[in-house]
Amino acid sequence: MKKIIISGGGTGGHIFPALAIANEIRLRYPQADILFVGAIGKMEMERVPAAGYKIVGLPIVGLQRKFTLSNFALPFKLLKSLAKAKKILKDFQPEVVIGVGGYASGPTLKMATRLGIPTVVQEQNSYPGKTNRLLSKSVSAICTAYEGLESVFPAAKIKLTGNPVRQELKELNLSREEAFACFPALNPAKKTVLVMGGSLGARTLNESVLFVADQLEQENVQVLWQCGKYYFEAMKTEVEGKKNILLTDFIARMDAAYTLADVIVSRAGALSISELCLVGKPTILVPSPNVSEDHQTKNAMALVKNHAAILVKDAIAKEEGLKTAFAVLKDKNQSQLLGSAIKAMAKPNASADIVDVIEGLVASRFIAM
């Protein structure tokens, strides 16, 4: 492969898979020319160049759920984005176009299909977003992370590949001693609950830690708590002087955090779940209610149906989130069953499998020519 376009973004959940796919392509084809197409003003316009790739932006925006004047400009921005995407495709002449979801992938993949360029959609969630659902009939292939999407995607196009994950998490080679050395404030003799609210944090998960903060000594449990940068200063004040809590806004050594955790409490974003499957630790999922089409609940249910996680609804998570974690810690049999079941759902070679699909499309196009 010589020329590839990857389009999409808007959130880390779209950008990370895009970069992982690009890295796998570059590993196989060091001379490949990879161009990203994003949305002007979105985080991909900074994250992609920082990772060493070129990017151009489309003036596309999303439809606001609430009535706003900006919605009136949407049709004009869509038409302008379609025209710009067509020009980018004609100028760059890619062999394949990959869409990872997000605003920009819609116009880019739509025009690519019209121009007869092979197209691949990478869907991270157990319930597809609107853009990917609309594109599914016209694209060449759809790489999914979950089974059972035949009801929304054409079955013949589906390739079950999983979601790309960070390279360092594919094999956790740290010993517990090495992991605890990365967090010297934690006690290796105590059971550890890892609470992850994402880079910005999750209010409900933070409240759930505060709710049990005074019970931790009695439970002989400690918490490694990633509260997010938005909440850090407030939470720091709340837990001042309290024992058995290590508070941080961001965890750089996630490999160490996962290794030392005895149970994990997390939101149910698609990429978080993919990582948690690789890690294979008992997990309590608290889906965010503030996402489109409640897709985090659908992500979580895909695990719950396989007895691979416990779901705690956001509405009761303040009182029940950490209490559920304590109950799992006390039940060795349940801990082992949850860990084994979630590990069985891991797909560690997702990036490679996705690029295999892409290679197949490009090869079949050249054979047809």
Same domain, 160 and 172: no
Same domain, 289 and 191: yes
Whole-number average pLDDT of the chain: 92
- Whole-Å CA distances, 354 to 30, 102, 129, 164, 253: 17, 18, 19, 9, 27
Average pLDDT over residues 107-134: 93
Task: Provide the domain count of the chain.
Answer: 2
Q: Is the pLDDT of residue 293 over 60?
A: yes
Q: Is the pLDDT of residue 238 over 90?
A: yes
Same domain, 219 and 333: yes
- Structural domain range at position 363: 3-165+348-368
CA angle (367, 32, 18) in 5-degree steps: 100
Confidence of residue 366 (pLDDT cuts 50, 70, 90): low
- Whole-Å CA distances, 326 to 87, 218, 241, 243: 57, 11, 22, 17
Q: What is the tens place of the pLDDT at every residue in 5-28?
A: 999 988 778 898 999 999 999 999
Q: Is the pLDDT of residue 150 over 70?
A: yes
Same domain, 89 and 130: yes
Q: What is the 3-state secondary structure (H, E, C) of the chain?
A: CCEEEEECCCCHHHHHHHHHHHHHHHHHCCCCEEEEEEECCCCHHHHHHHCCCEEEEECCCCCCCCCCCHHHHHHHHHHHHHHHHHHHHHHHCCCEEEECCCCCHHHHHHHHHHCCCCEEEEECCCCCCHHHHHHCCCCCEEEECCCCHHHCCCHHHEEECCCCCCHHHCCCCCCHHHHHHCCCCCCCCCEEEEEECCCCCCHHHHHHHHHHHHHHHHHCEEEEEECCCCCHHHHHHHCCCCCCEEEECCCCCHHHHHHHCCEEEECCCHHHHHHHHHHCCCEEECCCCCCHHHHHHHHHHHHHCCCCCEECCHHHHHHHHHHHHHHHHHCHHHHHHHHHHHHCCCCCCHHHHHHHHHHHHHHHHHHHC
Same domain, 223 and 250: yes
Given this model, what pLDDT does residue 63 score?
A: 54
Q: How many Å apart are CA 213 and CA 215, to the nearest integer?
A: 6
Same domain, 247 and 259: yes
Same domain, 147 and 278: no
Q: How many Å apart are CA 280 and CA 168, to the nearest integer?
A: 15
CB atoms closer than 10 angstroms to residue 230? 17
Cβ neighbours for 333, distance < 8 A, ≥ 6 positions apart: none
Confidence of residue 172 (pLDDT cuts 50, 70, 90): confident
Same domain, 249 and 293: yes
Q: What is the tens place of the pLDDT at every residue in 122-145?
A: 999 988 888 889 899 999 999 999
Same domain, 11 and 137: yes
Alpha carbon 237 to its chain centroid, in Å, reads 30
Same domain, 185 and 309: yes
Q: What is the tens place of the pLDDT at every residue in 31-43?
A: 999 999 999 998 8
Q: Is the pLDDT of residue 65 over 80?
A: no
pTM: 0.85
Token code pair at residue 135 = 């594109």
CB atoms closer than 10 angstroms to residue 245? 20
Rg (CA), the chain: 22
Given this model, what pLDDT does residue 344 score?
A: 96
Q: What is the tens place of the pLDDT at every residue in 173-199?
A: 899 999 999 999 999 999 999 999 877
Q: Are 96 and 1 in contact (CB under 8 A)?
A: yes
Same domain, 193 and 210: yes
Given this model, what pLDDT does residue 201 score?
A: 80
Same domain, 128 and 64: yes
Domain of 275: which CATH number?
Answer: 3.40.50.2000
